[in-house]
A and B are shown apart, each in its own frame.
Chain A
Amino acid sequence: MTATGLRVDIDGLSLRYGSAQVLAGVDLHIAPGERLCLVGPNGAGKSSLLRCLTGLAEPSEGTVRLDGVPLAEIERSALARTISVVPSQVELPFSMPVEDVVLLGRIPHENPFTGQSDEDHRAADVAIRRVGIEKLRGRDVRQLSMGERQLVLVAMAVAQGGRLIVLDEPTVHLDLRHQVEVLQLIERLADVGLTVLAVLHDLPLAAHFFPRLAMLDEGRLVADGAPADVLSPDRIRDVYEVDPRFVPSLAWNGSP
């Protein structure tokens, strides 16, 4: 169930949609077990970077390697067993109990003909326990609060068993308490050695929960390192074009 995290090497990644240069020459290296958060204004390319990483978008230039293997050489279902993506809020068309949603995470592992094995059920049970949503068993996901639903989606990603967990804005629409709950959970999960890559728009929370931040601006990686260094007043002014006093993260002094 536990494994060492994935190593991610992104070199010279560029992505163009038509005439728009969405990413330009991004170099990013994530060690196994590291926790990294991408920050930057809207349209900076954070989500696009994630899409390139998870195989949803094909880069115009550059390479992505997972544990040294180029992404292009990894087959889709193998990729799904390697990277777990936590969706940010989904619309379920039908009522579905929590444990069945968590089991969806086992799809990359399932045999298409024989269906879910005991191991799949075990993995789901473990995921539910680790995420701490035992009390939600049997409930219809559509009836849960947004915070509870997000936890279920995290459990699904955990059940998926990837060695890299990717979270694209997992705290959108959540109130503060649930935001903190989700981020604390992610900390705990990563404790077993999984690599975590998240995108957050909330700078103070990102600075508190992630020892390393990478800031993107207009497709370029403009900063990469400890929060205190990345979220310097000058950079805030440059990239976000706001007065740095509006960003209270500096009060943290970068200490997690």
Chain B
Amino acid sequence: MTSTDLAQGRAQVHHGSLEALRRRPVVLGLLGLLTLSVAIVAGVALGTVAVPVAETVAILAARLGVPLEQSWADTSETIVLTLRLPRVLTALVVGLGLSVAGVTFQGLLRNPLADPYVLGTASGAALGAAIGVLLPIQIAWLGLGLVNILAFVGALAAVTVVYRIAGGGGRSTMTSILLTGYAVGSMLAAGLALAMYLSGSQLRQIFYYLLGSLSGADWQSLALGLPIIAVGSLLILARARSLNGLLLGDETALHLGVDVRRERVVLLALASLVTAAAVALAGLIGFIGLVIPHIVRLVVGPNARLVLPLSAIWGAAFLVVADLVARLVGELPVGIITAVIGAPIFVMLLRRYRTAYQL
């Protein structure tokens, strides 16, 4: 084996710039980080009330400790630091979490149509949130409202029930878990429909939770949600090797040395935890967990070591931008924007690069 052999072996024929990108995930990553940074600044600088960009930067700098004379209005500071900054950061964290969870579920279930909500998490969270809206109790625990808490609990409870019913990892296949998830999700959705019917004047609140919204974002919720999502995502990334091993099926994974039963439970638990935190923070924002992993995979292939971090970056950027658009258009629920922006992009990519792997 000579170096020329290697060189020849490594030579690729590239068609088009996207093909070139395929072999340079670093480029995709840097591009993502750049987009994310611009999105964050835009998200904090723009909004219903105009705060000049220079002022925004000054306010942020002062907060970070740079000694600056206050040349801005107190209201500008409140808007930037108390309203917009936590909201933009929440969008970042939720977009990141949903994308990572999407990658994980698609890999675990070996199903490209899986998304973070596929095991009943969405219905469980929604029902929990609806109950939180309807209960005439005002609880604030560590700054979290009853709705957030019950949404989180509901999401996790749903996944646990699904896992138990499906046989809990013993002889259950991921297909049976998927089907059980669908069944349990339907049941929970029925409960939700009933709750909505009985909700009277509170229907609007429940409805907006279902569409997903970042308008309630604040520092306390973020302080609780961010560690869960960040740590969960990092732990999933550490297990990228197992996700890759599962690509060819359980048996092959076992032959490759992957402890399939343990990895499945751990990955399922981590991804569910991240999803539950995301929905507790922002409601049911759809589309991100399904599509961002696909778009990334179209560019760099299914290697989880690449797909996980790249999906995290691009998912975060996407949601920050989507939330900005939602705010500027008139405080629409951001779930509408993610669908409207994302679906055409996905269709376009699929059409153009469907044949990417054929010579």
Chain A–chain B contact at Cβ < 8 A: yes
Closest residue of chain A to B306, judged by CB?
A115
Most B-side CB within 10 Å, residue of A83, A93, A112, A125: A93
**B301/A129 in contact, CB under 8 A:** no
Closest Cβ of chain A to B79, distance in Å, is: 42
**B358/A143 in contact, CB under 8 A:** yes
Q: How far is the CA of A54 from the CA of B252 in the complex (A)?
A: 11
- Residues of B with C-beta under 8 A to A90: 248-249, 252
- Residues of A with C-beta under 8 A to B303: 100
Closest residue of chain B to A82, judged by CB?
B257
**A129/B255 in contact, CB under 8 A:** no
Closest residue of chain B to A84, judged by CB?
B255
Q: How far is the CA of A90 from the CA of B247 in the complex (A)?
A: 9
**A125/B6 in contact, CB under 8 A:** yes
- Residues of A with C-beta under 8 A to B302: 94-96, 100
**B257/A107 in contact, CB under 8 A:** yes
On A, residues with C-beta under 8 Å from B are 54-56, 76-77, 79-81, 83-85, 87, 90-97, 100-101, 104-105, 107-108, 110, 112-113, 115, 122, 125-126, 128-129, 134, 137-140, 142-143, 160
Counting residue pairs across A and B whose Cβ atoms lie within 8 Å, the total is 106
A104-B248, A128-B9, A140-B358 as given contacts; A56 in contact with B305, CB under 8 Å: no
Interface segment out of the listed B39-47, B105-113, B125-133, B144-152: B105-113
- Residues of B with C-beta under 8 A to A96: 247, 301-302
Which residues, 3 to 48 on B, are CB-close (under 8 Å) to A? 5-6, 8-10, 12-13
A107-B256, A128-B9 as given contacts; A97 in contact with B245, CB under 8 Å: no
Closest Cβ of chain A to B111, distance in Å, is: 6
Contact partner, B247, options A55, A84, A93, A138, Cβ 8 Å: A93
B359: Cβ under 8 A from any A Cβ? yes
On B, residues with C-beta under 8 Å from A are 1, 5-6, 8-10, 12-13, 106, 110-112, 238-241, 244-245, 247-249, 251-252, 254-259, 297, 301-303, 305, 356-359
Q: How far is the CA of A8 from the CA of B252 in the complex (A)?
A: 21
Contact partner, A137, options B9, B247, B249, B251, Cβ 8 Å: B9
Q: How far is the CA of A91 from the CA of B244 in the complex (A)?
A: 14
Q: How far is the CA of A97 from the CA of B358 in the complex (A)?
A: 10
**A104/B255 in contact, CB under 8 A:** no
**A80/B9 in contact, CB under 8 A:** no
- Give 24 A-B contacts (CB < 8 Å), ordered by A residue: A54-B254, A56-B255, A76-B259, A81-B257, A83-B255, A85-B252, A87-B249, A87-B251, A91-B110, A93-B111, A94-B297, A95-B297, A96-B301, A107-B241, A108-B257, A112-B238, A115-B240, A115-B305, A122-B1, A129-B1, A129-B9, A137-B12, A140-B356, A140-B358
